Copies of this chain bind each other. A is one copy, B any other.
Amino acid sequence: MPRPRQALLSRERIVTTALALIDADGLAALSTRRLAAALGVQGPSLYNHFATKDEILDAVADSVTATVDVSAFGRYDWCEALRRWAVSYRAALAAHPNIVPYLAQGPGRRPAALAMADAVYGGLVRAGWPPARATHIGAALRYYVAGSALGSFARGFVEDPALYAAHPHLSQAHRLAGHQRSVDEGAFVLGLDALLHGLAAEYERTVAGLEPATARE
């Protein structure tokens, strides 16, 4: 046969397989050779579809961001929309925690990340938040969500009671690992509610009273 009828690889297949390997073995364990082997080809073949390994990671990160639901910004008031977006955002990241350190560095040039930033910022400005304030709120929520997904708080504590003997208040810390999911979820919801509560108070003080409803063009 003069040419294979169809290419062995595609960008989509590379991204899907890379994400599966990262989920299974961690970001550090992903090498171009191992990824290629999982796809049934040799390492250099990947370079016919992506210029660098970082470009593959960008595509993986964006495929995760693409699953975040921002539709709440058209349907609910700004505060409830922020809450629903943050919950969806965190769920998307928590499903693939190993890619979060890479993803959390910023949107860069990734289309889904930029579309998300656009929806959030636009939603806040439409609600009457001054543009600079909208930027700060979007950043603060991203800080919180990224931090919450970046490595479980509970899993960060080693399951070794002896380690905590010297710390009077941490005598139960070794149990955290066993309740990882509920601790992380509970902490996330508590902090998110507090954050939104505080923002709502700020909104009442500085936006609702000071501007007529039609002040934004």
Using CB atoms and an 8 Å cutoff, list the residues of chain A in contact with chain B.
Answer: 101, 104-109, 114-115, 117-118, 121-122, 125, 131-133, 135-148, 150-158, 163-164, 166-170, 172-173, 176, 183-184, 186-188, 190-191, 193-199, 201-202
**Copy number in this complex?**
2
Please state if B153 and A139 are interface contacts (CB–CB under 8 Å): yes
Cβ of A37 to closest chain B Cβ, rounded Å: 23
Question: CA–CA, A173 to B216, complex, Å?
Answer: 19
Q: Is the CB of A114 within 8 A of B170?
A: yes
Task: Give the complex CA separation of A197 and B157 in angstroms.
Answer: 28
Chain B residues, CB < 8 A from A125: 169
Give CA–CA (A153, B173) in the complex, Å: 32
What 5 pairs across the A-B complex have the smallest Cβ distances?
Answer: A106-B156, A194-B198, A140-B191, A147-B147, A139-B187
Q: SS class of chain A's interface: helix, strand, loop or mixed?
A: helix
Interchain CA distance A148-B195 in the complex, whole Å: 14
A140 with B190: CB separation less than 8 A: yes
A114 touches B147 (CB 8 A): no
Cβ-defined contact, B153 with A118, below 8 A? no
B183 and A117 within 8 A (CB)? no
Partner of A114 from B131, B163, B176 at Cβ < 8 Å: B163
Is B106 a contact of A153 with CB atoms below 8 Å?
yes
Bound together, the chains give a CA A118 to CA B168 distance in angstroms of: 7
Determine whether the beta carbon of A118 is less than 8 Å from that of B169: yes
The distance in angstroms between the C-alpha atoms of A109 and B159, with both chains bound, is: 10
